[in-house]
Structure 1
Amino acid sequence: MTAPTLASGSRPQPLSLPALVDALSLRDLTDPAQGPHALQLLVSAAADALGEQWGADVRVLRSRPVVAVEDNYDRLGYQPDAVSRDVRYTRYVSDTTMLRSHTSAGVPPALRALAAAPLVDERDVLLVLPGICHRRDSIDRLHTGTPHQLDLWLVRRGGRRLDHDDLHTLVSTLVGAVLPGTHWRWTATTHPYTTGGREVEAIRDGRPVEIAECGLAAPGVLAAAGLSPSSWSGLALGMGLDRVLMLRTGIPDIRLLRSADPRVAEQLTGLAPYQPVSDLPPARRDISAAVPAGSDAEIIGDRVREALGPDADLVEEVTVLSTTPYDDLPAAARERLRIRPGQENVLLRLVLRPVDRTLTGEEANTLRDRVVAALTE
């Protein structure tokens, strides 16, 4: 197996051992073996509804988040120069392994297992792959660098080939199971592992919210796993479980999904509407820092998470208020910021608010100073 090719042309920089240990120690909320959680109810509802719709052989597959780079990218059709391979987006463990960036990384091994063990009957097979993923993301109430996802692949050998009418039925059945009574729409998009790709949005309060992406399983992905596209067809869908749970129950902040506050945690074992336990005031701190040019909210979010470690959960939001290139800054400002060519000045708003208490001013200032130090290294 060769080392992955990166869009930037650089070799992958492995995670530090402490960062890897922290990642592998994080509880996967979709795994019943790690304790009950409402996300597991969504997984079961989806699997049960789709299994019944097609009379399928339902196979729930769980794995650790360290996967082969080939399964996360190459065998799903990602090009060698795909930007997603860049170290800014991918958490490499070694030249050939990584923390999965999507639960789709489990699909190639599952398809290979199908090819190696012929079906005992002609029933469709529903592959159900839930789990935690690791990737770059901005910091706000709806985003996290460790989202939970659910891949659902319906695979058929022989008979009538699965088509876009079946895909529409799959999405309708799924939305009805996890977001009862919710209207939805889809729009055309592309993915390397599907043909005729679609992006699925739920309509909530008159606004579209992306919840899933889907399409027909790409023939190349099937063939790479040893399933002849002339004999096999499939439907592929990946859904963001955190976002769906928030829509289902009205949870306003994604950090609450991991809350240890008993008043919150007790509500996260079911799918009843969320009842707010408090409305704590936030602490806001504005930060001016010199950062590498091209640093967007997602890159900055990663730097903040890395700098704060376990305390990152105290950050409700990081907003980029303005960005000023080096060449546009007056000489006095360059000197004050100690900014260099190739950098830019960003003005950030740091919103700090634990889900269970109010920060003191001293605590907020300490967190601000840690963020400033990390961004200006």
Structure 2
Amino acid sequence: MTVSLASSDSRPQPLSLPALVDALSLRDLTDPAQGPHALQLLVSAAASALGERWGADVRVLRSRPVVAVEDNYDRLGYQRDAVSRDVRYTRYVSDTTMLRSHTSAGVPPALRALASSAAAPARDVLLVLPGICHRRDSIDRLHTGTPHQLDLWLLRRGGRRLDHDDLHDLVTALVGAVLPGTHWRWTATSHPYTTGGREVEAIHDGQPVEIAECGLAAPEVLSAAGLSPSSWSGLALGMGLDRVLMLRKGIPDIRLLRSTDPRVAEQLLDLTPYQPVSDLPPARRDISVAVAAGSDAEVLGDRIREALGPDADLVEEVSVLSTTPYADLPEAARLRLAMRPDQENVLLRLVLRPVDRTLTSEETNALRDRVAAALAGVQVRR
């Protein structure tokens, strides 16, 4: 099947009202007020382990997913031209607000509250910020546009300054709490809100799997919140909860974390190993799409999620099989796709597999047609 995907200008556009309502209606699996889930056990285990290790004042903070762009980016040190700010990856609600792309968006307000407190803390403070985030992302068994994250910031006023030895201790305690017995490693990297940044990988079946990023809290972030870097020091860590739970329980598909099938949902109330319910065959359909040059799997995956709505959970994966520039296509193909010179041809593979049943051929074709129709009418924005 072939369709044409239109291009547009580069002006950022906010989410449509229906898309915003859908996003805000999605259950946050880390929130006990919305029902129990194993992700909450990971949050509790992490907070308890680090709180006990440092004898810290543990403060669990929850906020709404709509945040100020300044808190999500500017006050965390992101440059104005950072690629993550692009509308392809950020879900803007207005010019000044957005659906948070990481739980770190809650850190600047938490630091400001700490700075404005009348009484100086008598001991270290551990900020625990769990929640659901919203991103443009590809579709496969390990990725979702609505991941759950956990930020852990350890703050100290006065005394010995927190350093990389403390950071190593923090990661060791954290991995021991959420992935007992798991070996891990870290490598140097950089983040806008840390100095001496590290990327943390768990070793699973002999292979490294990224689970967190961390570093020393950047002095600029502390000072912007009103905490003098000469008096305060801190450790900052952000962890992907979905990936950790999948490793902990041996869950093969991220969609299972939201399954309403009782055979699956009941297993997501604890941290015992996951027992597979079934191994259903996938259905595959290919779609040839004319898209704006430079479109990627994240953009297309996001459009497909929007088009299918609740049925998006039926999609196991969307992969790009090939990309062909306009100039390399035969004239007949350009005419069939109604392509323009500023477009390229992408061949997509749509893999459909519900977690609890097998799709009929008619259902599969209907889903393919819905995706194709949506892609044909969507504008790719930069």
Correspondence 1:325 to 2:325: yes
> Which residue of the partner structure matches residue 3 of structure 2?
none
**Counterparts of 2:250 and 2:335, CA distance in 1:** 48
> Which residue of the partner structure matches residue 214 of structure 1?
214
**Counterparts of 1:121 and 1:336, CA distance in 2:** 68
**Counterparts of 2:286 and 2:144, CA distance in 1:** 21
> Which residue of the partner structure matches residue 25 of structure 1?
25
**Counterparts of 2:121 and 2:9, CA distance in 1:** 47
- Structure with bigger RCO (C-alpha 8 Å, 6+ apart): 2
| Structure 2 letter corresponding to 1:158 | G
SS of equivalent residue, structure 1 residue 286: strand
> Which residue of the partner structure matches residue 373 of structure 2?
373
> Which residue of the partner structure matches residue 296 of structure 1?
296
| Structure 1 letter corresponding to 2:234 | G
After TM superposition, list the pairs within 5 Å mapping 1:153-232 onto structure 2.
Answer: 153-232=153-232
**Counterparts of 2:191 and 2:322, CA distance in 1:** 33
**Counterparts of 1:63 and 1:185, CA distance in 2:** 31
Give, in angstroms, the shift of residue 228 of structure 1. 0.2
Of 80-89 and 188-197, the range deviating more from structure 2: 80-89
Of 98-107 and 299-308, the range deviating more from structure 2: 299-308
> Which residue of the partner structure matches residue 124 of structure 2?
124
After TM superposition, list the pairs within 5 Å mapping 1:74-113 onto structure 2.
Answer: 74-113=74-113
**Counterparts of 2:356 and 2:368, CA distance in 1:** 20
**Counterparts of 1:189 and 1:9, CA distance in 2:** 34
**Counterparts of 2:183 and 2:118, CA distance in 1:** 39
Closer, same or farther in 2 for the Cα pair 1:335/1:10, shift >3 Å?
A: closer
Contact 1:185 1:202 in 2 (8 A): yes
**Counterparts of 1:282 and 1:182, CA distance in 2:** 32
**Counterparts of 1:306 and 1:11, CA distance in 2:** 20
Correspondence 1:314 to 2:319: no
Contact 1:219 1:229 in 2 (8 A): yes
Give, in angstroms, the shift of residue 14 of structure 1. 1.3
> Which residue of the partner structure matches residue 266 of structure 2?
266
Contact 2:211 2:244 in 1 (8 A): yes
Closer, same or farther in 2 for the Cα pair 1:9/1:232, shift >3 Å?
A: farther
**Counterparts of 2:46 and 2:9, CA distance in 1:** 40
**Counterparts of 1:194 and 1:107, CA distance in 2:** 13
Structure 2 stretches of 5 or more lacking a match? 1-7, 378-382
> Which residue of the partner structure matches residue 5 of structure 2?
none
Deviations 1:272-312 (A, max 9, x none): 00000111111111111111111111111111111111111
Closer, same or farther in 2 for the Cα pair 1:10/1:224, shift >3 Å?
A: farther
Identity value in percent: 88
Contact 1:149 1:238 in 2 (8 A): yes
**Counterparts of 2:88 and 2:58, CA distance in 1:** 36
- TM-score w.r.t. length of structure 1: 0.96
Of 197-206 and 288-297, the range deviating more from structure 2: 288-297
**Counterparts of 1:12 and 1:223, CA distance in 2:** 30
SS of equivalent residue, structure 1 residue 129: strand
| Structure 2 letter corresponding to 1:33 | A
Number of residue pairs the alignment of both structures matches: 370
Structure 1 stretches of 5 or more lacking a match? 1-7
SS of equivalent residue, structure 2 residue 299: helix
Deviations 1:64-87 (A, max 9, x none): 100011100010001111111111
Deviations 1:234-265 (A, max 9, x none): 00000000000000000100000000000000
Correspondence 1:42 to 2:36: no
**Counterparts of 2:19 and 2:336, CA distance in 1:** 33
Contact 1:47 1:58 in 2 (8 A): yes
Correspondence 1:350 to 2:347: no
Closer, same or farther in 2 for the Cα pair 1:159/1:32, shift >3 Å?
A: same
Give, in angstroms, the shift of residue 118 of structure 1. 4.0
- TM-score w.r.t. length of structure 2: 0.95
Give, in angstroms, the shift of residue 120 of structure 1. 4.9
| Structure 2 letter corresponding to 1:276 | P
SS of equivalent residue, structure 1 residue 334: helix
**Counterparts of 1:9 and 1:179, CA distance in 2:** 46
**Counterparts of 1:119 and 1:126, CA distance in 2:** 16
After TM superposition, list the pairs within 5 Å mapping 1:249-288 onto structure 2.
Answer: 249-288=249-288
| Structure 1 letter corresponding to 2:97 | T
Contact 1:12 1:94 in 2 (8 A): no
Give, in angstroms, the shift of residue 374 of structure 1. 1.9
Deviations 1:191-241 (A, max 9, x none): 100000000000001100000000000000000000000000000000000
Contact 1:78 1:192 in 2 (8 A): yes
| Structure 2 letter corresponding to 1:201 | E
> Which residue of the partner structure matches residue 139 of structure 2?
139
SS of equivalent residue, structure 1 residue 256: helix
Closer, same or farther in 2 for the Cα pair 1:21/1:307, shift >3 Å?
A: same
**Counterparts of 1:284 and 1:119, CA distance in 2:** 61
Of 32-41 and 113-122, the range deviating more from structure 2: 113-122
Closer, same or farther in 2 for the Cα pair 1:116/1:349, shift >3 Å?
A: same
**Counterparts of 1:110 and 1:325, CA distance in 2:** 48
**Counterparts of 1:50 and 1:132, CA distance in 2:** 22
SS of equivalent residue, structure 1 residue 181: coil
